[in-house]
Structures are given as structure tokens and as C-alpha cells.
Amino acid sequence: VSNTDRQVASYTPSHQDLAIFLLGANDYMTLHKDNVIMVVEQQIDDIEKIISGGVNNVLVMGIPDLSLTPYGKHSDEKRKLKDESIAHNALLKTNVEELKEKYPQHKICYYETADAFKVIMEAASNIGYDTENPYTHHGYVHVPGAKDPQLDICPQYVFNDLVHPTQEVHHCFAIMLESFIAHHYSTE
């Protein structure tokens, strides 16, 4: 799991950088935090550190609906994961609006990751991809000799394992994100 404090401390900001924050999913799924306010406030504190260091361009991304992962769909915590996702994104979006008011000379945008992921899931479902189950259960690193199948870069599944989308889904998401970045941060 990434350590944002260490990353922020080791980062040398530049006014030309585009700092992208996509944080929170591991807080809820891996670290089992359930205090949405603390998770979002820590993220906002990290964003303000970057801004105070000289970064002018910040992209803050919400989290996908964690209840839509195979883990979430088959978990007793499905409702909790959905509620945390919705609450996290609503609070984060409100805080981003406040940052925009506080730092009007900066370009700060919020990206609704959950909406983008919903579009990808719908398209995948329409072409027959499995949106309910993972391609494999052993994770996204192949273990030689394991009974699970070799990793496939584009199986007809949305998820490689219980929580991580496939490479193909990541590529679709990257294309959508690239368009958003070009539209909101382009200087041309």
C-alpha cells in the first residue's frame, strides 16, 4: 500500500506539474478504515501541502463505487462499501470546491471516477464481458506453479482479481482521463 505522506515529503514540486490524486480505495478496502471524514481530510491536507510547495495544477479524483468490484458484490459489506464510496466522493467534491475558492489562481479540478467506471462497466456488459466475477483469484501477479490460469492482458472480464480492473479496462479509463486532462488543463 502506498504511503502518501512519504511520497509528498519526497516530492519536489514545480509550478508546471500536474499533481493527480486518486486516493481512498485502499483506505476502505485494505486498511478497513470507516471514518470517511478522516480519509478525505488527510487527502485535502496532502493536496494543500503540494499547493503550498508551488504546484499550480491539481487533479483530484473520486473513487469508483467499491461495491461494484467482485469483492464488493459478493461481500457482506456491499452496502457499506457503496455508502463509503458515495460519502467519500461527495465530501471530496465539496472540499475540492472549497480549495478552488481558496486558491483561485490555481487550476484545481475534480474528476468523477465513479461515473467513468460506470460507463466502462456498461460498455463491457454490452459486449459480453463478465462484470460480476474476477478472471482469477490469485491477484494480478502470476505465481509460477499456481493452479490459477496464466495472466491474460485482455480477458473478457472487467476485473483481473477481486478488486483490480484488467489492463484493458485501465487503458479505457486512461483514454477517458486523457480527454478530461486535455480539456481542462491544456494551455492551447
CA separation (Å) from 130 to 8, 29, 34, 68, 161?
37, 22, 29, 12, 12
Whole-number pLDDT of residue 5: 73
pLDDT of residue 29: 82
| Regions of the chain short of the pLDDT cut 70 | 1-3, 138-143, 146, 148-154, 188
Q: How many domains in the chain?
A: 1
Q: Is 139 helix (H, G, I), strand (E, B) or coil?
A: coil
What CATH number should be reported for the domain holding residue 137? Answer: 3.40.50.1110
Q: What is the DSSP letter of 11?
A: -
Between the alpha carbon of residue 183 and those of residues 58, 86, 87, 109, the distances in Å are: 14, 25, 27, 11
Residue 149 CA, chain-centre distance (Å), reads 27
* Domain range enclosing 93: 4-185
